Amino acid sequence: MPLRETVILLDIEGTITSISFVKDTLFPYVAAALKNYVDKYWNDETFQQDLELLRAQAALDSNIEGFVPICTGNNEKESVINNVLWQMSKDRKNTALKQLQGHIWREGYESGLLKGHLYEDVLPVLTKLISMGKQIYTYSSGSTTAQEYLFQYSMYGDVSHMFVNYFDTKMGPKSSETSYKNIANRIFVNCHDILFLTDVLAEAEAAKRAGCSSALLVRPGNAPLDPKQSSKFKIMKTLDELLEV
């Protein structure tokens, strides 16, 4: 059956980008580059803004077990670095941490050390879908800025022009149906005009509850899907299956 939906909404990690790129490349890059970055940009306005957010976050975090405080005085820089490493070890996803990570990634992408991973089927299929009049959006828990860098500095060059826009958890959590309604409202379409593709069952279910179509991607390195729970969705190995009629 030809694709009915006009909007293709893509999850990123585990759907069009390998989980390993995020887990084994992007996050370790921040940990490895952090000290140099902090030294180099300490007096920059952007870093000072990031630091302000980190301090505000630290004030909220002081009751969490193992909390690493940000001090003032001689050990200030070191304490900032240790606080960030602690947050990352807990896989925290607050705005302060995400913003700093985004800025460190930007430097890595701009210097050519990082190149956004995309599965090889992604660009050919998206090109075809765009030629069919489909509009491509992303929805990921990575910030919209981090998403844009991934596409701007992808392993295939700048492919950011293929995407109409990027959404992140400012729309709400990915396992909440309201988020998909928020996205539909934002782009002035009905949920039933949206096809959402993801590797996570709970996200596919939430999109479906909102009235979107959804399908599951199974990529190498993804967590296995529960066969029973996932059987109500179309399961695809590559995006090519979208074009099969």
Binding residues for substrate: 140-141, 174
Closer Cβ to Mg ion, 13 or 148, answer by number:
13
Contact code string over 91-130 relative to Mg ion, x by CB under 5 A: ----------------------------------------
Q: How far is the CB of 35 from Mg ion (least distance, A)?
A: 30
- Of the candidates 8, 9, 10, 14, which one interacts with Mg ion according to CB under 5 A? 14
How far out from the chain centre does Cα 20 lie?
13
For residue 154, what are the β-bridge partners? Answer: 116, 157
Closer Cβ to Mg ion, 57 or 141, answer by number:
141
Q: How far is the CB of 227 from Mg ion (least distance, A)?
A: 19
Q: How far is the CB of 90 from Mg ion (least distance, A)?
A: 20
Contact code string over 155-194 relative to Mg ion, x by CB under 5 A: ----------------------------------------
Helical pair 45-61 and 95-110, crossing angle rounded to 10 deg? 150
Identify residues 188-217 at the interface with Mg ion (CB under 5 A).
199
Q: How far is the CB of 36 from Mg ion (least distance, A)?
A: 30
Helix ranges (DSSP H) in the chain? 19-20, 27-41, 45-61, 76-89, 95-110, 122-131, 144-152, 177-186, 201-210, 227-230
Q: How far is the CB of 15 from Mg ion (least distance, A)?
A: 5
Helical pair 27-41 and 76-89, crossing angle rounded to 10 deg? 160
244's CB contacts (< 8 A; 6+ apart) are none
150's CB contacts (< 8 A; 6+ apart) are 12, 17, 109, 116, 142
The residues that touch Mg ion, with contacts defined as CB under 5 A, are 11, 13-14, 199
